[in-house]
Amino acid sequence: MRVKVNVTKDVLERSKMCGIKKKYKSDSCAIALAFIDLFETARVGHFETWLITYPEKKEFDSLSKVCLPKSAINFIRKFDMLSPSERVLMTPFSFEIEVPEYVISKIGISQIYKTLSESRTLELVMNKEEF
């Protein structure tokens, strides 16, 4: 299942203080906030290429990570270097990820479809074969 993630102006506003007063907060960055509807425990690695979807897992193997595309990684790097006032001026952007089967089975397909239909930052990506 492919999902489009939209980092909106609202997400940029809500995440502008990420890491400012405290050490880096991996659950309050813009990417993590954009994922929050689907991955309630989303954490985005600092300068990393993954999203930890269920941090209660003690081992961070491939079953606890979703690879982020280069555009998202570049966004994180730029976001982390900016001030709060500069972050809110960033251009909103979108990217796609593949939701792993373990996430679908853990959350449940009907709950995922419900979440995607109600989310302001996530959309289901339809493949041409699905039409």
- Write out pLDDT tens, residues 68-127: 888 988 998 899 899 999 999 999 999 998 887 877 887 788 888 998 999 999 999 986
Cross-strand bridge partners of residue 95 = 5
**Given this model, what pLDDT does residue 92 score?**
96
Asked if residues 7 and 94 have their Cβ atoms less than 8 Å apart, the reply is: yes
Q: How many domains is the chain built from?
A: 1
7: left (phi over 0), alpha (psi -120 to 50) or beta: beta
The sheet that has 2-7: what strands, in order across it? 93-98, 2-7, 122-125
Which structural domain range is residue 75 located in? 2-130
Integer Cα distance of 131 and 109 in angstroms = 19
Mean pLDDT, rounded, of the chain:
80
**Given this model, what pLDDT does residue 131 score?**
45
Which pTM value belongs to this model? Answer: 0.80
**Given this model, what pLDDT does residue 27 score?**
64
